[in-house]
Amino acid sequence: MAYDNDNIFARIIRGEIPCHRIHEDVDTIAFMDIMPQAEGHALVLPKIAGEDVFSTPPESLAAAIRTAQLVARAVKQVFAPPGIMIAQLNGQAAGQSVFHLHFHVIPRYAGKDLGIHAAAQADPAKLAAQAERLR
């Protein structure tokens, strides 16, 4: 599949669509997932165009995982979950719905199932407050 320059994350990177930003540097951006699977669910993206792990250069993957570690540390500090899942999906069959490579950073709690993927939009005020704490 060819990379779609107008996918939602490309538009967020270009600043055409707002997001609840947690971190940004020259290579990566991190923001709250608008349909979180758990409180504090964040997304980390390399800025370079690439839809999946196969079409994203290794240096960009490395930059993104560095930012994912930074964000996971912040999530641990702010939400104090006993576990944190870092996930990255490739292809529709794997559940990928936005075709610009990204890592999910999701707090996990013992005995609490993961929420449904990309199902329900969270309260924007709540996401803004969470992003502020994570920043």
State the residues that interact with ligand 5GP by CB under 6 A: 8, 19, 31-35, 89, 95-98, 118
Kindly give the pairing relationship between strand 21-24 and strand 28-32. Answer: antiparallel
Least separation in angstroms between CB 36 and ligand 5GP: 7
Q: Are 35 and 122 in contact (CB under 8 A)?
A: yes
DSSP β-bridge partners for residue 84: 107
In terms of CB distance, is 30 or 63 closer to ligand 5GP?
30
In terms of CB distance, is 12 or 63 closer to ligand 5GP?
12
Could you tell me how far CA 89 lies from the centroid of its own chain? Answer: 11
Q: Which of 41, 102, 104, 117 is catalytic?
A: 102
Q: Distance (Å, rounded) from C-alpha 57 to C-alpha 40?
A: 28
Least separation in angstroms between CB 85 and ligand 5GP: 12
Least separation in angstroms between CB 31 and ligand 5GP: 5
Residue 102: active-site member: yes
Q: What is the DSSP string of 39-96?
A: TT-EEEEESS--SSTTTS-HHHHHHHHHHHHHHHHHHHHHH--SEEEEE---SGGGT-
Catalytic positions, please? 102
